[in-house]
Structure formats: C-alpha cells, structure tokens
Amino acid sequence: MIIGIGDDCAVLRIPAGHEVLVTTDFTIEGVHFRRAWHPPEVVGFRCLARGLSDIAAMGGEPQAAFLSLAVPRNLPQAWINRFMKGLLGLASCFDVTLAGGDTSESPQNVLADIVVVGFVPKRHAILRSKARPGDRIYVTGELGGAAAALEKFMAGRKALPKDFPRHFHPDPRVKVGQFLRTERLASAMIDLSDGLSTDLAHICQESGVGAEILEAAIPRARIGTKENEVDLDRALHGGEDYELLFTARRGKRVPNRIAGVAVTLIGEITRRRRIVLKSRNGKPSPLRPQGWQHFRK
Amino acid sequence: MIIGIGDDCAVLRIPAGHEVLVTTDFTIEGVHFRRAWHPPEVVGFRCLARGLSDIAAMGGEPQAAFLSLAVPRNLPQAWINRFMKGLLGLASCFDVTLAGGDTSESPQNVLADIVVVGFVPKRHAILRSKARPGDRIYVTGELGGAAAALEKFMAGRKALPKDFPRHFHPDPRVKVGQFLRTERLASAMIDLSDGLSTDLAHICQESGVGAEILEAAIPRARIGTKENEVDLDRALHGGEDYELLFTARRGKRVPNRIAGVAVTLIGEITRRRRIVLKSRNGKPSPLRPQGWQHFRK
C-alpha cells in the first residue's frame, strides 16, 4: 500500500472508490503531558491514539501515520526509544504503518505532531453536520475517567495506569466507528476529546440544531479500587476520554454494545438551537460548553 | 475536492488512478528561523514552501495543506496574522487549500509543522531510488544562495529579501517536477533541502550507485548588487535552496530551461558507489555529504 519512508514524500495507495481522511494533532510537553507524570510509552501511545480516534469519528480505516518529533538536546535516547515503543505498539494493533515524518531539535520541550491518514468509501464519511431534530444521541464507554486522572495529578498525588486506563491508554474506537458506518446507523459523529459539553456543541453548531441530554443517563467512569463514579462535572466537561459521541435517526436500532464497547442513549437532538441538561427530577438547565484545558484544575 | 476544516478529519477526493503523496516538515524558531531575522510573512511562506518542494520532487500535484501551529502565550496576534498571510499567499499561488491542522500553546518558541498532501498518477511518482549508471545529473536554478543569506546573518549583518530571494521566498519547483514526470524525462529526483552533497548522496544511496560531478558545471548563485558568485562550498553544501536535483537516462533530451527555470547538466551517475567531484583541471576528489545545520557557521 505504501512506498513510504526514504523519499521526499510517502506514496499511499487508496482503494478505488474511497476518499482520503487526514487528521493532525499536537502533543506538547507541559500542555498534553508531563515527563514527571507520564511514562514515555504512554506519551507515545496517547500521541497516536488522538489521531486514530479522529479517524474512528469519521467511520474510517486508518492506514498510515506520520510523526514529527522535536526533542531537546539533553533528552535521553532511552526516552525517545520508549516513546516510539508506545507509539509503534499501538500502530501495530491497528495495522497502521509509520510512513514518514520529521525530526528536529527543540529548544526546551518535547513536541510531537502526529498525522494519521486513512480512507473511507466515497461520500460515506460520518460528518458532524448531519444531525437532525429527533435524532437520538449516543455515547460509547464511560465519561470523565481521563479528567479524573489529571485531577489527581493536579492535587499532587500519583494516578496509576491501572486505575485510569482511559487516561493512560485510551482505546480509539475505530471498530465501533466502522460498524456505525457499515450498518448506516450514525447520522453524525465526533470523538470526545474536548469533553461532552464542548463536543456536543460542535455537532449542534455544525448541524444547526440543539440537544437535550438526560443527566441520569450519562455513563460516568468508575475509578479506583472502590469503583467510585466520577462527579457529574467530570463526565460532562472532562476531556480526552476519546469515546465516540454520535446521533442516529429515531427509528434506527442501535445495539447497546458494539465491538465489546457499551453504547448508551443519553438524549435527543432538538430543533431549538440550545443544549439543555435535564436533571433527575426533570428540571432543565442550559449545558454550556466549558472547553477543555488539559492542566486546568 | 475537499470537505475540510470543521470536522474530525479532512476528507480529500483523489482523482481515479492516482496515488496520494504526503510530506511533513517542521519549522522551529531558533532552528529554522529567528524572529529577529525573518519577517513573519517569510516564516509562513518558507514553512509551506518546504512541503510544496517535497511534492515537486515527486513530480506531484499539491492539493491540501495542514498546519499545526504552537505559539507562546505572549506572541502578538499580529505576528500570527502576518505568518498566515505569507503561508496562505503561497498556498493560493499553487491552488492549495489549507484543510486543517491544530493549534496549541507552546511553552517558549514558535513551532509549526506543515503537512502537504498531493497526488500523482499511479506508479508515476519520481523516486530517489531509480537512478542508473550512465544517467546524467541535472539541477534547477542556482545553488548556495540560501546559505549565503544565513552566513550574512551569522556574521551579524542584515540580509535583505531582495538580495537573497531563494532564502526568503524559495519558489517550489512544482511545474518543473510535473513537466519532468509528464515528459518522462527524470529517472530519479530529490529536492535540495540539505545541500547538493547530502541530497546527491541520498539519491546514490537509495539507487545503489555513485556519481561524478563537474565543479565547473555547478550553477552558483549570484548575490548582492555586484552579483558575486557564492563560494563553491556554499553551492556544494549549503541547504534550503529548494531546487530540484534529478537524473535522466543518457539518451533523453532535457531542455536547458523548464517553466522559466534554468536546468544545468552537472555530472553523471556511475556504477562505482562513490561520489567524486572533478575540479576544473580534471582532478577528482571525494565529495563528502556535509549535512546541513541551519545555523551553523
């Protein structure tokens, strides 16, 4: 499929009748990770996971990755080796080839820019802009787990990979995205990188619609040995869970489990262009996108 | 052609019977430019020019660009606006759409990673690996002009854009590359980003051949009002000229001007795997790749 590394460009062969998907994401030390908090393998893993998740959110098939990596002169080679191990390990899980990139010296921090190229049958990419009033709103997995890990770090404690799998090893929902596309279930889709409130607002804005979400329906991550549910705020506004948020026309039968991942109905698209959260007693309140700043308390 | 910005991925439509080209290049403050030396428009222009030049070196057609840009918090918005003006100005010259990217805060320096996606008819990309003994070696334009500008900066003087056009506004040789492909003239090709000695070594290594270059034939850049020729060393080892270096089978008639750009025969591919420079009196000496470090004196 690929001529690849060692020339001016990589040459990718795309199957006939398909379109090309391209996504690019920064991973910056001090913004997206800290060397004191995140083992290098985890940084490499999450770097690629972000790109794969974008391909998943289009219902696409990832094909090749390109890594631009700038590191400070004094960074140990072992750090880079372990970073690459984490990245390439995830790449091999998805049959993705590292087909190129660039390296450079960075004055101070580690900086990685990951590009993932994939493909999707022509006109079948699942866009953000196709939600319609009456569509049901679904989310995969559980929300708020990744933000809870950062909260713990910010409080000066150590968050362990076994307690926070979605933070340390987010699993891009590529299979789920493809199933939703091949079964023509999803009308619109986005991946949850900025948090439910912000990413739902993206769908609503691109589609020119509003939404009503049921507080009681939101699947909250359970964390630690006691499996405590995260706060509602974490589940509503926490970023980097890399789950999928999608809509489906009212009549569609959406399984409650796809490719081993829970799928939960959390609300409905409305004609009125505002996003409303309905509490357990039925009281509506506006759900404002809070954005996601990685290291904000 | 493009669904583009505002979704998880850009969706590109590639013409039937074509392959996808992807290239990615860092532009890092303190490594590739300095804010004191380079106006923001120039930084943006050169950032994209690097990617377009890679597409040119495959004989490809550029289609879309993706910019990941990280800037320090205190960078004036005007700097970014002027950077984008330089980048988008060049993009429009080549009908290239800015189809996505990422933005982030950077702890200290400006960092840009440019991705350019293009296409080329199937199996017609001009690779580095197809040079054969007996092939003639050609170069476009003049060499060493970009390095001469840096030399002047490093000496503490000001290099002006009008004196060093190839440094400030390198013109990616896209039309030349396409002509060489459609006329089936080039057997192997690379763009001169690291300097003639290094980039010729790439072709020789990938093709498993050697080369003999005639010192007298190398087109040296003329700079300043006096139009002095640059030193031979600059022309042999200076980087960032973004001219094309290509080989053509012995019988091919290569025009001495393509798309308005001079094309010069500088040597020949040899079976013996070493690169030799022949002086004006015919004396051969080994030509060692010296690499190109941007701010090295």
pLDDT at A108: 81
Cα nearest neighbour of B67 on chain A: A24
Start-end of H helices in B24-99: 40-56, 77-93
pLDDT digits 0-9 by tens, B89-137: 999 999 999 999 888 888 788 999 999 999 999 999 999 999 999 999 9
Largest CA distance in chain A: 62
pLDDT at A295: 61
pLDDT at B2: 66
Using the predicted structure, report yes or no on whether residue A114 has a pLDDT greater than 50: yes
Nearest to B102 among A7, A25, A108 (CB): A25
A-chain residues within 8 Å CB-CB of B32? 104
A259 contacts A140 by C-beta, under 8 angstroms: no
pLDDT digits 0-9 by tens, A164-219: 988 999 999 999 999 999 999 999 999 999 999 999 999 999 999 999 999 999 99
* Interchain proximity A12–B31, CB inside 8 Å: no
Cα nearest neighbour of B50 on chain A: A8
pLDDT digits 0-9 by tens, B42-98: 999 999 999 999 999 999 999 999 999 999 999 999 999 999 999 999 999 999 999
Distance, CA of A210 to CA of A273 (rounded, Å): 4
The band of A119, judged by pLDDT with boundaries at 50, 70 and 90, is: very high
The band of A297, judged by pLDDT with boundaries at 50, 70 and 90, is: very low
Using the predicted structure, report yes or no on whether residue A5 has a pLDDT greater than 90: no
Using the predicted structure, report yes or no on whether residue B224 has a pLDDT greater than 90: no
pLDDT at B121: 97
Mean pLDDT of B265-275: 98
A20 contacts A119 by C-beta, under 8 angstroms: yes
**A20 inside 8 A of chain B by CB:** yes
DSSP code at position B199: H
Nearest to A127 among B7, B60, B70 (CB): B7
Helices (H) then strands (E): counts for chain B? 7, 15
The gap from C-alpha B117 to its chain's centroid, in whole angstroms, comes to: 16
Mean pLDDT of A23-42: 93
* Interchain proximity A115–B115, CB inside 8 Å: yes
ipTM: 0.92
**A2 inside 8 A of chain B by CB:** no
More confident residue, A107 or B45: B45
A-contacting residues of B 208-267, CB under 8 Å? none
pLDDT at A293: 67
Q: How many C-beta atoms surround the C-beta of residue B67 within 10 A? A: 26
**How far is B54 from chain A, CA to nearest CA, in Å?**
5
Domains delineated in chain B: 18-121 (3.30.1330.10), 136-286 (3.90.650.10)
**Cβ neighbourhood burial of B231 (10 Å; 0-12, 13-18, 19+):** middle
B219 contacts A36 by C-beta, under 8 angstroms: no
pLDDT digits 0-9 by tens, B175-198: 999 999 999 999 999 999 999 999
pLDDT at A3: 66
Using the predicted structure, report yes or no on whether residue A127 has a pLDDT greater than 70: yes
